[in-house]
Chains A and B, each alone.
Chain A
Amino acid sequence: MQDEHDFEDFYAAVFDRLVGQLFLVTGNLQDAEDAVQEALTRAALRWPRLRRYRVPEAWVRRVAMNLASDGFRRFRRRLTVVVRLRADLEARQAGPAEVPGLMEALRALPVAQRKVVVLHHLLDLPVELVAAELGVPVGTVKSRLARARGALAARLGPATRAEGLRNQEGAGNHG
């Protein structure tokens, strides 16, 4: 029972925060909620062991990030297909308020680039940890960051380029 109480506390502490982070990757609140919920279900299955981790939240985020792949998005997007599924379309959830321009710019990036942006720029993880979390080489992370930065700067304007990204030039040494 203690395990379950612990899990309930953990769930309450992380769900909203992780959905917020995953929203930046998926660009869609429903997808973000589904990915986080699925990751937390898997965490519940492993909780006796997972609760002893230093940061169980990182495990859940990694699983949710993996789930928030293009394929998963694509599966979810199938709902848009079916014009005949009127009930689903009507029940579609309204999204959260959006920071002007940001989501449009993020949605224009491939999902893989969005993930490195969130992990590196929002969560301040150094590229080595980003690479470990995503299971890709450090060079790949740097390359994705570089491409993402270029695309974001182009869309979000010079202010972002000057202020938001100026500290990220040495991405490999960051953090």
Chain B
Amino acid sequence: MADLRDRLAAQAEHAAGAARAPGPAATLRRARGRRRRRLGGRVALSLLLVAGLGGLTSRLLEGREPASPPQTTTPAQRQAAPLWTAEGAASELMAPRDRTQAAAGDLVVAATGFGPEGRTRAYDPRSGRQRWAHRTGPNAFVVAAGGGLAVAAPQYGPLIGLDLATGEERWRFELAEGQGPESGTIAGDTLFIGTSFPSEGAVDPPIVYALDLASGRERWRAVLDPGTDLQWAAPVVGGGQVLVADTLSHEGSAPTSHLHALDADTGRRRWRADLHAPGQGFFAEGPVVSEGLAYVAATSGMLLAVDTRTGREVWRDQGGFPLVAGVWDGLVIALVGGDRLVGFDAATGARRWQTPVGRGESEQWAVLDGDAVLVTGDGAVVAADAATGAARWRAPVGDAVGPPVAAGERVYVATQDRLVAIDRASGTTVWGSARVRPVAAPLVTSGRVVVATRDGTLLGFAP
């Protein structure tokens, strides 16, 4: 094993020996499924939705009763067919779930995600009609939308500012080789966006930019700490500063991770707070800011409250991995350890109430909805009273693929199999789609509920 080739060959042989093949039969089935989708097109999909495959799915899902429901609701009463379908719009299976579609103005903007096509398209959510398409380059993502612009980017940039009304390219902002954009935030006339160098082994520091939204011109850049990447959450902008959290580029690449506060006008770092997290973890959920404190979850499993003026840690909770739903009436409400919802005193961190919500055996989300907290996970949506934690209802709809979305009288949940509408007050399932395999939470805009599916199709439903 003296030379490189021999070592490479030996290593490849080890890996080949450990490989576990799904097998040609499974591969052919998977390919046939895709072929059918391609050939069948819109007509076949519509027929499928009407024909009742979803009804079968509904019955199967209805059979999955929760272990100890506070309240079991009635099953889906109605199967809803989409008002429109738009194929080839959104990402396919392997794309990150949270960066391929966005509602902006009166449009839904969708990108094709990982793949050579690399297009960003805008649709009228009322009709599903495509307004425009722009060839963005391979592996396209929507990194921000708002202020009359959609900002799209291939995997390694450039950032491309597209006129939301016409799809016309307004500007490009080039990135360095290996530099990948994360999610951005548009505030006023500025785009704030973080970038990282995500190659395994790379320790280049992440860079946060402030760009003039109209021209793409750089206003400032802030270079953060070597050996870190930015987390996936978009920057949180407020109070004249920009909050971004980092994580380790790889194991041991930096001593810990930090929450950074940057001056929104100059990019100068005001402070950084230790997240006490010497491991790696990319969160799509950013810090929640309220009344001068930022509440942030760390990969170490801590919930930290940090003073937004100084970066000083005010309190911490180490009772289990936290997922912050929001702040309501002096309480920080978080899902903790995957199995309980906790109301913390926002100022002190004292636990005011806690209530069991599940087993934490699937990916979960928690959001604040007025005076209620909505939690998805373990095959159900649970609504709890924000003041007391008391469960209001539990809807067994299946495992969610994104956070619940409350709008009007409904709560919409995209599950691994379908889109479901739940009555916001009672938790009764009002309607469910046929089996469509969503990839992300729905967008509710312009009187439509729009969901992207695994085969890259957008579906628009009546609310």
**What residues make up the interface of A, taking CB atoms closer than 8 Å to B?**
4, 7-8, 11-12, 15-17, 19-21, 23-24, 27, 29, 32-34, 36-38, 40-42, 44-45, 66-67, 69-75, 77-78, 80-87, 93-99, 102-103, 107-112, 117-118, 121-122, 124, 152, 156, 159-160, 163-165
Q: Mark B1-25, 1 if CB is under 8 A from A, else 0.
A: 1111111111111111111111111
Q: Given that A41-B30, A44-B27, A160-B4 are known contacts, is A72 also in contact with B114, CB under 8 Å in the complex?
A: yes
The DSSP consensus for interface residues of chain B is: loop
**A70-B198 in contact (CB<8A):** yes
Q: How far is the CA of A20 from the CA of B13 in the complex (A)?
A: 6
Q: Which residues of B contact A121 (CB under 8 A)?
A: 4-5, 8
Q: How far is the CA of A153 from the CA of B57 in the complex (A)?
A: 57
The DSSP consensus for interface residues of chain A is: helix
**A45-B4 in contact (CB<8A):** no
Q: How far is the CA of A21 from the CA of B299 in the complex (A)?
A: 32
| Interface check B347, CB cutoff 8 A | no
**B96-A75 in contact (CB<8A):** yes
Nearest CB on A from B23, distance (A): 8
**A107-B19 in contact (CB<8A):** no
Closest to A5 in B: B24
**What residues make up the interface of B, taking CB atoms closer than 8 Å to A?**
1-25, 27-28, 30-31, 34-35, 94-96, 114, 116, 139, 155, 178, 180, 198-202, 232, 250, 280-283, 299, 301, 321, 323, 338, 360-364
Q: How far is the CA of A16 from the CA of B11 in the complex (A)?
A: 12
**B94-A164 in contact (CB<8A):** no
Q: Given that A83-B281, A107-B200 are known contacts, is A97 also in contact with B114, CB under 8 Å in the complex?
A: no
**A111-B95 in contact (CB<8A):** no
Nearest CB on A from B249, distance (A): 11
Q: Which residues of B contact A85 (CB under 8 A)?
A: 362-363
Interface centre among B3, B15, B17, B19 (most CB of A within 10 A): B15
In-complex Cβ contact of A83 among B3, B178, B198, B299 (8 A): B299
**B155-A71 in contact (CB<8A):** yes
Q: Which residues of A contact B19 (CB under 8 A)?
A: 15-16, 19-20, 29, 32-33, 36
**Extra A-B contacts (17), CB below 8 Å, given A24-B12, A83-B281:** A7-B28, A17-B12, A20-B17, A20-B19, A29-B19, A36-B19, A37-B27, A41-B34, A44-B30, A71-B180, A84-B338, A86-B360, A107-B200, A110-B178, A118-B8, A122-B9, A160-B4
Q: How far is the CA of A12 from the CA of B281 in the complex (A)?
A: 36
Nearest CB on A from B25, distance (A): 8
Nearest CB on B from A44, distance (A): 4
Q: How far is the CA of A111 from the CA of B6 in the complex (A)?
A: 20
In-complex Cβ contact of A81 among B1, B5, B299 (8 A): B299
Q: Given that A82-B363, A84-B338 are known contacts, is A75 also in contact with B34, CB under 8 Å in the complex?
A: no
Nearest CB on A from B454, distance (A): 13
24 A-B Cβ contacts within 8 A?
A4-B28, A7-B24, A7-B27, A8-B28, A11-B24, A16-B17, A20-B12, A32-B19, A33-B21, A36-B19, A41-B34, A69-B155, A70-B155, A78-B96, A81-B299, A99-B10, A102-B7, A107-B200, A110-B201, A112-B199, A117-B8, A121-B4, A164-B3, A164-B5
Closest to A83 in B: B321
Q: Given that A41-B30, A87-B361, A98-B11 are known contacts, is A71 also in contact with B2, CB under 8 Å in the complex?
A: no
Interface centre among A40, A70, A75, A165 (most CB of B within 10 A): A70
**A110-B199 in contact (CB<8A):** yes
Q: Which residues of B contact A99 (CB under 8 A)?
A: 1, 7, 10-11, 14
Q: Which residues of A contact B155 (CB under 8 A)?
A: 69-71
Q: Which residues of A contact B94 (CB under 8 A)?
A: 34, 38, 67, 72, 75
Q: Which residues of A contact B283 (CB under 8 A)?
A: 81
**B200-A70 in contact (CB<8A):** yes
**B11-A27 in contact (CB<8A):** no
Q: Which residues of A contact B11 (CB under 8 A)?
A: 20, 23-24, 98-99, 102-103
Nearest CB on B from A105, distance (A): 9
Nearest CB on B from A117, distance (A): 7
Q: Which residues of B contact A94 (CB under 8 A)?
A: 18
Q: Which residues of B contact A124 (CB under 8 A)?
A: 5
Q: How far is the CA of A103 from the CA of B116 in the complex (A)?
A: 29
**A81-B199 in contact (CB<8A):** no
Q: How far is the CA of A23 from the CA of B250 in the complex (A)?
A: 18
Q: How far is the CA of A124 from the CA of B364 in the complex (A)?
A: 47
Closest to B300 in A: A83
Q: Which residues of B contact A36 (CB under 8 A)?
A: 19
Q: Which residues of B contact A37 (CB under 8 A)?
A: 21-22, 27
